[in-house]
Structure 1
Amino acid sequence: MHEDAERCARAVKARDARFDGWFFTAVVTTRIYCRPSCPVAPPKVENMRFYPSAAAAQQAGFRACKRCRPDASPGSPLWHHRADSVAKAMRLIADGVVDREGVPGLAARLGYSVRQVERQLVAELGAGPLALARAQRAQTARLLIETTALPMAEVALAAGFASVRAFNETVREVFGLSPTELRARRRGPAGGVPGVLSLRLPFRAPLHPDNLFGHLAATAVPGVEEWRDGAYRRTLRLPHGHGVVSLRPGGDHVACLLALADLRDLSIAIARCRRMLDLDADPVAVDEQLAADPLLRPLVRRAPGRRVPGTADAEEFAVRAVLGQQVSTAAARTHAGRLVLAAGEPVPDDGGLTHLFPTPAALLELDPSALAVPGARRDAFTGLVRALAEGRIDLGAGADWAEARAGLAALPGLGPWTVEVIAMRALGDPDAFIPSDLGVRAAARALGLPATPAALTGRARAWRPWRAYAVQHLWATGDHAVNRLPA
């Protein structure tokens, strides 16, 4: 979109927050870059330059606006509804792959050479993987500077910088202030619970929280997830240790409390929470397309901004999807809770969280005969766990959606329903569709839509690439706990 200067300029003049994260506006006279909705009076059009990423604006010598904080914009929805190599690279960078494995590690995961990855990212985003990772480190540093009382040397290490000098130079270059000056600008001292980071997760409005948080709460696995005091809480398995997150729907943001065993996992934990809540979606684009169908229109108008509940751990969700085949939500929670007690890793918490969900390797060591499920489902569980433990199926941030679907479908006991549910909530494919689901078919019949899978699939072609969102609207017509916020 950044190449359409006229459209970008109109969005800036209107201070349209819907385009935050889609592009960034740099002002040549001030050498500052902003988000489109910046409250400062818009500059003259001839002084505007548009960039596809914060990293590209930074590389061009612009620093972040102190008013609108463009580095903290919602992420571009492009990287979450596309399946090409650039989108996969962006998801992997957000998940910390460059910081942990370097650019060669990123290229290896994508199946390209380092040079090819550099060329593709620069062509579309105006910056290579190192610059994109650097921009992410700068944002992590800012969060730690403003929300903790950590010494700057510890902030530098936690944000992923190789040295305090590199940390100081980057912060000054990106924000126009030294780390000490940035901390002095925060409103009031760092407070709250010691060791817990308090953050605000932005999103593009509107956001309908009922089915989003309702689904996570109603399907919560005991010990791993809970709804407590108006917030969804869960444990997180992260590269350097564990974490506990609390997420509470607010007005223009989701309030996030994070307790991490290792602060180096901060940006990764935030990225996973954003994916779990689908916070980088473009609800206006989704709703406009779905509302074009006259039979879906009343549902969309009744609940604009409906999101697709995701997951913080794709492998965990896949295991739970298999356990939940053809059983009630309560039974699925019970089965998963037994696995947690048998093979999960204990974690400390002041609430009701007790464990991390077991890894596939840990589940592989369990005696499958102990599972109180039919034999066919035990075989499906064992086959999936082994494939995940051996790395034959990749469900991670950079997974190829088509390959993952094919790998899952080849396993015994995983039919189209299970594969598409995993694609929808674990892989994050916005076009995943389950026309055979009983709830979807019942809702379709009640609305006057075709109810047979084949006919419904034909009608749903007009909903692409947002069929997963259409499924949420159809499910929401039923009276189930997943469709409402807990009391």
Structure 2
Amino acid sequence: MYTDRERCVRAVQSKDARFDGWFFTAVLTTGIYCRPSCPVVPPKPENMVFQPSAAACQQAGFRACKRCRPDTSPGSPEWNQRADLVARAMRLIADGVVDRDGVPGLAARLGYSTRQIERQLLAELGAGPLALARAQRAQTARLLIETTELPMADVAFAAGFASVRTFNDTVREVFALSPSDLRARVPKRNAVRPVPPATGCTLQLRLPFRAPLNPDNLFGHLAATGVPGVEEWRDGAFRRTLRLPYGHGVVALTPHPDHIGCRLTLSDLRDLTVAISRCRRMLDLDADPVAIDDQLRTDPLLAPLVDKAPGRRVPRTVDEAEFAVRAVLGQQVSTAAARTHAARLVTAYGDPVDDPEGGLTHLFPSPEALAAVDPESLAMPRSRRTTFTTLVRRLADSTVHLGPESDWPQTRSELLALPGFGPWTVDVIAMRALGDPDAFLPTDLGIRRAAQELGLPSTPAALTARATAWRPWRAYAVQYLWATDSHPINFLPV
């Protein structure tokens, strides 16, 4: 996108918010960089330089605009619609791998050398993994500075900086203000005073997205399939527990017209960046709904569904392994039965958590805990017990790995090789856990019923052939087709 100069100039001159996060505008005369929708008067085209990432702008010596705050733009849709090395690396960087394990840890997760990863990231994004992680740390630091009253030393280490000095230098370089000055610019707030990170902290955040966003199927699906003790719908918010690298958390996500309200309680503030990244992935907030809907509207039978409720997202997950287990529990049973099976496992094998605000009681059990389950204790057919036990053992010993770095075709092949894994199970995991935007479920009963009602082919082979025109957004077509049913997953809970 950023290499198409004429298109970028038009986007900046029209202040088009659809392109926020796709590229950044660095202004030669002021030394600042902005998002395309920045409200100030656009600079002259000859003074604009376009970069693919905030990190590239910072590498080139530009400072973040104080008006449009480009560091808080929605993430680029590129990293959620691709499965190549750069996209997988970006998903891992967003998940905090570089901060925790360094670039060698990133390379090990991806199976490439550090030199290969650095070369490809520099070529496409104008910044290497360290610079990209640094930009993310700066954004997290700003968030903590502006929304909490934590001491600056606690902010520095919670954001992932190795020292207070590095934190101070980075904030000054990126925002042209000291941390104290940045905090002083924020109006007096009524936020709850947080306690030290070792005890826990609650933050109120706003998660941006590209409009339009239809919350009905997104929150309806999460609420209707929620596992008691781990997830609940309460007071207009979807709440769930989070298993995180340094501890655990509880998040409440509330849909609003222009953002998602996020109330996040963490046992360790170092998990803040990871928790935000996983919540954004679960709600598919970095999608480009205009591009997706425009493509699906080219099919005259889908167009009315899109026009009626544009901006549908794919409800995803905060934990890929958890979702795979739940997909197996849901094979050939009702939504209620799947929730019951999962709730029993949560009560017996999940780690207890304290939730003073609601009815959340546990983290979903880890693969290691589930691998110790006695198969005879599972109230399901013997063949599904075999499927369940094989999956959790492979997840526990990492012979099957599900994560942000997963290579979609390779992971599909690994799952299909497991007993009891057919195309439906693999594709629903690809769609909701791996994040493949082109995953398709032609054998799903709800999809076949919707196709028949709309006049689309209803046999799997014929429907798959028709769906070729919907690529690479077939997972979103699934959401529109499911929405023709009266199932609770399609409606925002009351």
Task: Tell me the TM-score normalised to structure 1 length.
Answer: 0.99
Q: Tell me if 1:437 matches 2:451.
A: no
Which residue, out of 453, 457, 473, partners 2:464?
457
2:62 and 2:193 map into 1 onto residues whose CA distance is 36
Deviations, residues 104-133 of structure 1 (Å, cap 9, x unaligned): 111111111111111000000000000000
Extract unaligned runs of 5+ from structure 2.
195-200
The Cα shift of 1:414 comes to 1.0
Show structure 1 runs of 5+ residues with no match. Answer: none
8 Å Cα contact 2:138/2:174 also seen in 1 = yes
2:139 matched residue in structure 1: 139
| 3-state SS of 2:242 partner | strand
Which residue, out of 271, 275, 279, partners 1:269? 275
2:197 match: none
Q: Which residue in 2 is equivalent to 1:330? A: 336
Residue of structure 2 in register with 1:311 after alignment: 317
Structure 2 residue aligned with 1:478: 485
Q: Distance in 2 between matches of 1:305 and 1:13?
A: 25
User: 4+ runs of 1 displaced by more than 2 Å?
Assistant: 192-195
Match of 1:426 in 2: 433
Correspondence 1:365 to 2:352:
no
Percentage identity across aligned positions? Answer: 75
CA distance in 2, matches of 1:244, 1:439: 32
| Aligned residues of 2:94 and 2:277 also touching (Cα < 8 A) | yes
Deviation at residue 193 of structure 1 after TM alignment: 7.0
In structure 2, the residue matched to 1:159 is 159
Partner of 2:352: 346
CA deviation after TM superposition for structure 1 residue 190, in Å: 5.3
**Helix, strand or coil: the match of 2:123?**
helix
| 1:106 partnered with 2:106 | yes
The aligned amino acid for 2:481 is: L
Match of residue 475, structure 2, among 468, 476, 480: 468
| Structure 1 position 221 matched with structure 2 position 248 | no
* Contact kept? 2:371, 2:392, Cα under 8 Å: yes
How many residue pairs get matched? 487
Q: Supply the distance in 2 between the matched residues of 1:452 and 1:193 (Cα, whole angstroms).
A: 58
- Residues in 2 aligned to 1:187 and 1:404: alpha-carbon distance in whole angstroms: 48
Mapped to 2, the partners of 1:229 and 1:168 lie a distance apart of 40
Match of 2:333, SS state, is: coil
User: How do 1:265-304 and structure 2 match up within 5 A?
Assistant: 265-304=271-310
Contact 2:416 2:423 in 1 (8 A): yes
One-letter amino acid matched to 2:311: G
Opposite residue 414 of structure 2, the aligned amino acid is G
Partners of 1:386 and 1:108 in 2: CA distance: 22
Letter in 2 for 1:316: E
CA contact (8 A) 1:147 1:190 kept: no
Q: Distance in 2 between matches of 1:187 and 1:381?
A: 52
The answer (yes or no) to whether the contact 1:149–1:190 under 8 Å persists in 2 is: no
Q: For 2:327 and 2:193, how far apart are their aligned partners in 1?
A: 35
Q: CA deviation at 1:282?
A: 0.3
Task: Give deviations 1:74-93, integer Å, cap 9, x for gaps.
Answer: 00000000010000000000
Pairs within 5 Å for 1:8-407: 8-189=8-189, 191-192=191-192, 194=194, 195-350=201-356, 351-407=358-414
* 2: CA distance, partners of 1:395 / 1:113: 21
Inter-partner Cα distance in structure 2 for 1:192 and 1:7: 44
Between 1:457-466 and 1:386-395, the stretch displaced more is 386-395
- Partners of 1:292 and 1:232 lie apart in 2 by 33
* Partner SS state of residue 352, structure 1: coil
Which secondary structure state, in structure 2, belongs to the residue aligned with residue 136 of structure 1? helix
CA distance in 2, matches of 1:83, 1:66: 34
For residues 484 and 369 of structure 1, what CA distance do their matches in structure 2 show? 37
SS of equivalent to 1:474: helix
1:329 and 1:129 map into 2 onto residues whose CA distance is 41
Deviation string, structure 1 residues 54-107 (Cα, Å, up to 9, x no partner): 000001000000110000000000000001000000000000110111001111
Q: Distance in 2 between matches of 1:130 and 1:193?
A: 32
8 Å CA contact retained: 1:148, 1:190: no
8 A Cα contact 2:430 2:439, kept in partner: yes
CA distance in 2, matches of 1:326, 1:368: 19
Q: Is residue 148–residue 193 contact of structure 2 (8 Å, CA) maintained in 1?
A: no
What is the deviation of 1:189? 3.1
1:204 Cα shift?
0.4
SS at structure 2 position matched to 1:199:
strand
Aligned equivalents of 1:181 and 1:58: distance in 2?
20
Deviation for aligned residue 1:486 = 0.6
Task: Say what the alpha-carbon RMSD is for the aligned residues.
Answer: 0.7
SS in 2 for 1:346: coil
State the alpha-carbon separation in 2 of the partners of residues 455 and 193 from structure 1. 59
Q: Secondary structure at the match of 2:7?
A: helix
Partner SS, residue 398 of structure 1: coil
Is contact 1:450-1:459 (8 Å) kept?
A: yes
Instruction: Output the CA distance in 1 between the equivalents of 2:222 and 2:256.
Output: 16
Measure, in 1, the Cα distance between the counterparts of 2:399 and 2:477. 31
Displacement of 1:278:
0.2
1:219 Cα deviation from its structure 2 partner? 0.3
Distance 1:157 1:334 in 2: 40
| Native 8 Å contact 2:149 2:193 kept in 1 | no
Tell me the secondary structure at the aligned position of residue 402 of structure 1.
Answer: helix
Q: Name the CA distance, whole Å, in 1 between partners of 2:26 and 2:185.
A: 23
